[in-house]
Amino acid sequence: MSSSNTLESRPASSISGHHDMAFDAKSMNSQTCLQAKQEKKKGSFLSRFVNTLWATRQTRDFDENADLLVKTTLKELIIYIIFLIIISIVTFGMTSSINYYFTNVMMKLFLEQPDSNDMTFKDIGSIDDFWGVHSEPILNGLYWETEENATKPGYIYFENKLLGVPRLRQLRVRKGSCKVHSLFEKTITDCYDSYSYFNEDQSPFGIHQVYNSTDDKNPFVYSSSDKVKASIVDGTFSTYGRGGYVKNLGLMMAESKEIIENLKSNTWIDRGTRAVFFDFTVYNANINLFCQIRLLTEFPATGGAFPSWTFRTVKLIRYVTPMDYFVLACEIIFILFVLYYTIEETLEIKKHKLKYFKEVWNILDVVILLLCYICIGFNIYRVIEVNNVLDSLLGNINQFPDFDSLSYWQNQFNNAVAVMAFLSWIKFFKYISFNKTMTQLSSTLARCAKDIAGFSVMFFIVFFAFAQLGYLLFGAIVEDYSSFSNTLFALFRTILGDFDFVALESASRYLGPIYFLSYVFFVFFVLLNMFLAIINDSYSDVKSDIAEQKSDFELGDYFKRGYAKILTKMNLKKDKIVDIQEALAVADSDGDKNLSFDEWRAELRKRGYADAEIEAYFAKYDKDGDRNLTDEERKIMEEDLKNQSNEIESDMKKFQREATITPEEESDSESSEDEEEESKKNLVSHIEFNILTKRVDTMEASIGSIVNRIDSVLSKLDTIEQAKLKRREAMTKILDKLNNANSVKDDVQRAKLQEMIRQELENWDQPLSATPQRAISSRAVSPLAQSASSLEMRKKSAIKQQ
C-alpha cells in the first residue's frame, strides 16, 4: 500500500520521464545490437569473400570433401592459366623477330665493311689497322652524305637516325707500372703493365698543353667518371672503368674525319693505351627500336690489338602503336595478378609460418613475385629516365647521348622477365600435381637425388682433373684451352660431340690423342652411362610406384558426377512435364472440353504442386483471362509440353553421346566388339556354371571339416609330447637317486626313494585314468589319437619292466 501511495504521489512528469529514459535505453540497446549484427555480417561477408577468392589447397581445410578439393584445384588452375597467358602477351610484346634483323644490318655495316687495304673491324691487329678502319668504313657507315640523303643528314641507310654525336674514349696505364727483371733493366727501360684500377693512368699526356680545346674537350686530359658517365665494361683481357680520355666526333663526316686525323697525327694511341671505345646510338622510328653500339679495341700488354663489339637492340619507348597500348592493358592486368598472388602467399605464410618455406613450390612462388616487383619497378624507372635523356638530347644535339646505361639495364630487365616467364611455366607443374602422371619428373629427381649427389662428387673429381691437365698441356697453343674456364666449356662440349681433335693433335702429336681418347673413355663411355643408369633405375622405380598408387582425385570422376547431376535434373524436368501432361488429360472432370482453374488446381494439388506454380502455369495459357482454358488453349499447352519434352530428350541424348564417347573409345570400338565375340565363344552356359558352383561349394564344406579334424589331432599330439618330456625329466631324476641309493645304508632314506618311485608310477598312469569326459573325448577324437595313446601305454609298460 505504501508503495502504491508513493507512486501515486509522484508527479506525472517524473513518471513520463522514467518512461522516456526506459524507452531511450531500449532503443539504444536495440541500435547497438543492430550495429553489432551489421558489423558481424560485414565481417562474415569479408571473411567469406577472402576465403572464396584466395582459397587454395594450402589455406583451406577440406575434411575429406572431395568435391570442394576439386573445385579449389580447378579454380587455382584456371586462374594461373590466365596469368600465364598475360605473361606471354607481355613478354612477346616486348620483342619480335625484327630485333634480330635490325641488329644484323648494323653488324654487317660496321663490322664487315673493308677499308682501302681490305681490312674490316674484325681484322684489326695493330694501331695502324685501328686508324685505317675507323677513318674509312666506320665513318662511311655513320655518315651517309650522298645526294639522296643530302636533305636528311645524320641518317644511316636512310631510315636510322644517328642520335647526337659518336664518342671516342681511351683508358691507359702508367709508365713503369710493372717491374723489369734485373737481367734486362739496362736493355728494357720502359714497362707498361696490364690494365687494372691500380695501374690506371689519369695524368695528362702528349700535347695536352698545346691542344686547341678546353679541358672538358681535351682528349689528352683525363675526364672523371662523373663527367663521362660511362658504364663498367668487361673486356677480353680486363674490366675497364667508367672514366677515361674522351673526344666527341662531329655531326658531319668532314669534321669527324679531321678529328680522327688529328688524333692519329698527335699519337693519341701509344704504348700506354689499353682500350679504346667507340660508342654511338641509332634510332629507327619505323620499328621504334634503339640500337646502342660499342666497338671496343683492346691493346693488351702482349702487343697487338684485339677487337670486340656489343650491339644492344632495345625498345625504350614502349607505347606508340595500338598493339603497344594493348600490351599496356595486359601489363596493368599483370600488376593486378601480382597483387592477387602477393595476398595469397601472405595468407599462406600467416597460416603455416616457417613450415611454408619447407616446400620448394612455395620458395618458387616467392622468387617469382620478387622478380615481378623488380620488373615493375624498372618499367617505371625506364619511362622516366628515357624521357629525361631525350629531353636533354633534343636541347643540344651536339652532345653524346647517354643510352649506354639505359640499354644495359633494359637488357637486364629483359633477362629478368625471361627468367620470370621460365619459372612461371615451371610452376605450372604445381597446379597439375594432383595427377600422378604429372609427378614423374619431380619424383624421379627426388628419388635419385642422393645417388646423383654421390655420383657428382666422383664425376667432378675426374672432370676437373682432365680440365687442369688440358689447360696445362694445351693452354698456350689451343684457343679452346687458353684459360681454365674455356677448358671447362671445351670439355663439356666434347661430351656433346663438339670438339676439335686436329687442334689437340697439332699442339702435341702424342699427348693430344692420348688425352682425348682417355677423356672420351672415362667420361663419355663410363661416367656418362653411369649417370644415365641412375636416372633410368629411378624412373623405373617411380613408374612402378605410380602404377600402384592413386591420384589425389580424378577429374574424370568429378565431371562424371556433374554429368550425372545434370541428367538427374533433366529427368526430373522431363518427369514434371509428363506429370503435367497426364494432369491435363484427366483434369476436365465434367467433360465439357473447357478446363476451369478449379479443376486444374484440384488435379495438380493431388500431384503435390504449389498454388503459386499452378497459378503461373495456368495464367501463361489463359489468354483471355476468363479462368477457363478452351480447347484451343489446351492444344497450345499440349503442343508446348510436347516440344519441351522432345527438346529435353534430344539434349539428354546429345549430352550422353558427348560425355560418354571419346575419340579413343570410338577408335577402339571395332576392336573391342571383335574381342567380345571371341570371348563369348569360350564362355560356359548358365546351367553348367550353376553345376560347377555347387560342386565347388560341396568341396569347400568337406575340406573345412577335414581341416578342423586335423587341427584337433595336432593339438592332442602337442599335449602328449609335452607330457612325455616332463615324465622323461622325472624318470631321469629318479634314476639318479637310485644310483645314489645303492651306496646309502639308511633304511629311512631307502624307504623314501621307494615311495617316490611308487608315486611317479601312479602319475605315469594318471593320463590314462583321466575324467570320463576327457577320456571319452580323447577316445572319440580319431583313430590316429587312439593309436597314439596305445603307443604311449606300450612305452610306459616297457619302462616299468626296466
- In three-state form (DSSP H/G/I as H, E/B as E, the rest C), the secondary structure along 52-109 is HHCCCCCCCCCCCCHHHHHHHHHHHHHHHHHHHHHHHHHHHHHCCCHHHHHHHHHHHH
Amino acid letter at 316? L
- What are the residues whose beta carbons fall under 8 Å from the beta carbon of 310, sequence distance 6 or more? 292, 293, 294, 296
pLDDT in tens, 209-267: 776 655 557 899 999 888 888 888 999 999 999 899 999 998 888 889 999 999 999 99
Q: b/e for 627-657, b at 16 or more Cβ within 10 A?
A: ebbbeebbeebeeebeebbeebeeebeeeee
d(CA 385, CA 404): 12
* 280 beta partners: 293
d(CA 139, CA 176): 35
More confidently predicted of 737 and 205: 205
pLDDT at position 564: 62
Query: DSSP alpha helices (H): ranges in 520-610?
Result: 528-548, 555-586, 597-606
> In the block, which residue shows the cell 670486340?
308
pLDDT in tens, 627-674: 777 777 777 777 777 777 777 677 666 655 655 544 444 444 444 445
Mean pLDDT of 706-720: 83
pLDDT at position 321: 86
Q: How many CA atoms lie within 13 A of 287 on its CB side?
A: 22
Contact 316, 410 (CB under 8 A): yes
- Cα 406 to Cα 314, 402, 411: the distances in Å are 9, 8, 9
pLDDT at position 511: 92
Candidate ranges 1-10, 31-40, 595-604; pick with highest mean pLDDT: 595-604
Q: How many CA atoms lie within 13 A of 245 on its CB side?
A: 24
Other Cβ atoms closer than 10 A to 18 = 11
d(CA 387, CA 380): 11
Strand, helix or coil for residue 619: helix
- What are the residues whose beta carbons fall under 8 Å from the beta carbon of 324, sequence distance 6 or more? 93, 318
Distance from CA of residue 16 to its chain's centroid?
Answer: 75
d(CA 214, CA 371): 46
Contact 138, 153 (CB under 8 A): no
Contact 307, 124 (CB under 8 A): yes
Strand, helix or coil for residue 661: coil
Question: pLDDT confidence of 306, banded at 50, 70, 90?
Answer: very high
pLDDT at position 12: 42
pLDDT at position 544: 84
Angle between helix 449-474 and helix 511-519 axes, rounded to 10 deg: 170
Q: Is 626 annotated as a binding residue?
A: yes
Give CATH for domain 443-548: 1.10.287.70
Phi, psi of 311 (to 5 degrees): -120, 115
pLDDT in tens, 168-214: 999 999 988 888 888 888 888 888 999 998 999 999 988 877 766 55
Strand, helix or coil for residue 308: strand
pLDDT at position 295: 95
Contact 680, 748 (CB under 8 A): no
pLDDT in tens, 68-123: 777 788 888 889 999 999 999 998 888 888 999 999 999 999 999 998 889 999 99
Angle between helix 747-765 and helix 686-741 axes, rounded to 10 deg: 170
d(CA 574, CA 279): 80
> In the block, which residue shows the cell 646505361?
405
Q: Is the pLDDT assigned to residue 802 strictly greater than 70?
A: no
pLDDT at position 572: 62
Question: pLDDT confidence of 566, banded at 50, 70, 90?
Answer: low
pLDDT at position 274: 94
Q: Is 599 annotated as a binding residue?
A: no
Contact 596, 627 (CB under 8 A): yes
Rounded to a whole number, what is the distance in angstroms from the first to the last CA of the chain? 121
Q: Is the pLDDT assigned to residue 45 strictly greater than 80?
A: no
Mean pLDDT of 125-137: 92
Kindly state the cell numbers that stand for 153.
643528314
pLDDT at position 771: 39
pLDDT in tens, 740-768: 655 555 566 667 766 776 676 666 555 44
Contact 750, 741 (CB under 8 A): yes
Burial of residue 282 (CB within 10 Å: 0-12, 13-18, 19+) is buried
Q: What is the mean pLDDT of the chain?
A: 77
Question: pLDDT confidence of 8, banded at 50, 70, 90?
Answer: very low
pLDDT at position 124: 93
Domain 555-677: what homologous superfamily?
EF-hand (1.10.238.10)
pLDDT in tens, 363-409: 999 999 999 999 898 888 888 888 888 787 777 777 888 888 888 88
pLDDT at position 410: 85
